[in-house]
Structure 1
Amino acid sequence: MQHGVVTFLTDYGIDPTALARGVEERGFDALFLTEHTHIPTSRLSPWPGGDELPERYRHTYDPFVALGAMAVVTERIAIGTAVSLVAQHDPIVLAKAVASVDRLSGGRMELGVGPGWNREEMANHGVDPRSRTARMREHVLAAKRIWTEDEAEFHGQFVDFDPIWSWPKPVRVPPILIGGGGQTVLDRVLEYGDGWIPLRVPVSGLEEFGARIAELQRRAADAGRGRIPVTVYGAVPKAAALESYAAAGVDRVLFELPDADGDAVLRTLDELAPLRA
């Protein structure tokens, strides 16, 4: 099982390149960033994590810009989003940004995607919250078309463009990791995903989670696909928990880092590093 980290990278926290170097130097396998383009001041949408929205949500870097900087100071680690709210992006611009990061990293970019929870944030981008999952699907499919075809075109309900030229192409088609844990998430993984990235699976729920992983792999085999990797966002940083994740069929865990200054984050990395053994 691989071990990586995920963080809300903020303007008041650790420098992006210092973080990337620190993660790679300590032998981790991956570094993922979250995304919110902005946070509306209305606060009408309840935060799934509780009553008070943490400050970090208002201060995050653009993940693709930050990942581009991280790409050029690292050589080995996977870099990506966990998750990008792709329904809020123009799909043509999204495809170019992701392909550019992939080129800069030598083919290490992974695109984790999710529909999001903040309805006012979506509305500011012209996205109807009721169609955010369907729109996410089309944005991903359109990006894949752009990455793989010299004269790409797409005609859907939400995305519609005639043949275009768009370079650079990625070194490889970036894996699409589908976020979420709802009843239909495995359908999305199997239709247009390359991996599953559920959020904060508790150790107490690993028996049920393991059954879902087994179902995913059975359905993948029935569809003529190989194993679909599973990455857990926000894994419990304890040795016994990691053994349980591996036994359930998890391929990679991501430990959450604090939105703190450089010294504090590097100390956290030092504390987490022995768990890779």
Structure 2
Amino acid sequence: MEFGVSTFVTDDGIGPAALGRALEERGFGSLFLAEHTHIPVKRESPWPGGAELPRMYYRTLDPFVALTAAASVTERLRVGTGIALIIQRDPIVLAKETASLDLVSGGRAVLGVGAGWNREEMRNHGTDPATRMRLLRERVLAVKELWTKDEAEFHGEFVDFDPVFSYPKPVQDPHPPVMIGGAGPTTFDRVVEFGDGWMPIYGRGTDVLAGKIAELRERAGRAVPVTVFGVPGKPEAVAELAAAGVDEVLFNLKTEPEGDTLRYLDRLAELV
């Protein structure tokens, strides 16, 4: 089993370069960053994590910029989105951003994707919450076409473009892994059809996890990689996930100043 961290990099916590360097020095294998383009002032969508939306949600850096900074000071650390809200991103731009990150990192990019929960936020991007899952599907499929075809085209309900040249191409063959977030009743449909792995949040629909992983892998007919993020830094949590057959644990890292973050990473490293 591999170990990394999932966190929000903001303008008032540890910087992405310092964080990336600290993770690699301590033996962690990956850094996954959350994304919110903005938070609407008038918000009716409930946050799945509780009543009060934490400060970090309002202040996230763009994940691709932050991950590039982390990649530039590391050699082995895999850098991924956990998760990118691709229903709020143009797929042609997203394909270029991810391929560029894969190129500058030497093939270390991972694209974790999801549809999100903040309906007001997605509406500001012109996305209808009622059709966001169909939009998610088409954007992932379109991005993969752009990554893998010299003359890529896509014709769907929401994404439609004639043949285009899109470069750079990713370093990884055939492309960076696309990890599907969520744990809802139709999540496995998406993983099986167009995902390269499953990436649920710890404690949100991850009960009886061993059975769910077995079901997913049986349905897919392949050993689907499973990464769980937002994991508490406790030995019992690690043991639970190892027994369930999880491939990678992403410890939840609070958004704090550099000194506090480094001290906590020292404690986490003892679990690794």
Relative to the length of structure 2, the TM-score reads 0.97
Change (3 A) 1:205 1:256: closer
Query: Are 1:258 and 2:254 counterparts?
Result: yes
Q: Distance in 2 between matches of 1:236 and 1:122?
A: 29
Asked if structure 2 preserves the Cα contact closer than 8 Å seen for 1:113 and 1:178, the reply is: yes
Please provide the CA RMSD for this pair: 1.2
Q: Name the counterpart of 2:240.
A: 244
The aligned counterpart of 1:214 is 214
Q: How many residues in Structure 1 have an aligned counterpart in Structure 2?
A: 270
CA spacing shift, 1:157–1:257, aligned 2, 3 Å: same
Correspondence for 2:202: 200
Moved more, 227-236 or 153-162: 227-236
2:153·2:161 contact (CA, 8 Å) conserved in 1? yes
The residue number in structure 2 matching 1:43 is: 43
Moved >3 Å (runs of 4+): none
The one-letter amino acid of 1:124's match is: N
What CA distance in whole angstroms lies between the structure 1 residues aligned with 2:38 and 2:231? 26
- Say whether residues 1:267 and 2:263 are aligned partners: yes
**1:191 alignment partner, one of 190, 193, 198:** 193
Give the equivalent residue in structure 1 for 2:79.
79
**2:130 and 2:206 mapped to 1: Cα distance?**
29
Mapped partners of 2:138, 2:206: distance in 1: 32
Matched letter for residue 21 of structure 1: R
Distance 1:7 1:235 in 2: 11
Aligned-residue sequence identity (percent) comes to: 59
**What amino acid is aligned across from residue 202 of structure 2 in structure 1?**
R
Match of 1:130, SS state, is helix
Kept after mapping to 2: 8 A contact 1:201/1:232:
no
1:231 matched to 2:227:
yes
Alignment check: 8 A CA contact 1:68 1:101 kept: yes
Deviation at 1:72, TM superposition (A): 1.2
AA aligned opposite 1:77:
L
Equivalence map 1:107-186=2 (5 Å): 107-172=107-172, 173-186=175-188
CA distance in 2, matches of 1:75, 1:260: 24
Aligned residue number for residue 56 of structure 1 = 56
Is 1:8 equivalent to 2:4 in the alignment? Answer: no
Superimposed CA distance per residue, residues 69-89 of structure 1 (whole angstroms, 9 cap, x where no aligned partner)? 111111101110010000100
Gaps of 5+ in 1: none
Deviation for aligned residue 1:52: 1.1
* Larger CA deviation: 232-241 vs 17-26: 232-241
The residue identity in structure 2 corresponding to 1:37 is T
Secondary structure of the corresponding residue to residue 234 of structure 1: strand
- Name the CA distance, whole Å, in 2 between partners of 1:181 and 1:97: 26
CA–CA separation in structure 2 for the residues paired with 1:68 and 1:205? 31
Distance in 2 between residues matched to 1:134 and 1:117, nearest whole Å: 15
| Residue aligning to 2:90 | 90
Q: Do the aligned partners of 1:142 and 1:159 also contact (CA within 8 Å) in 2?
A: yes
SS of the equivalent of 1:233 reads strand
CA distance in 1, matches of 2:192, 2:65: 29
TM-score normalised to structure 1 length: 0.95
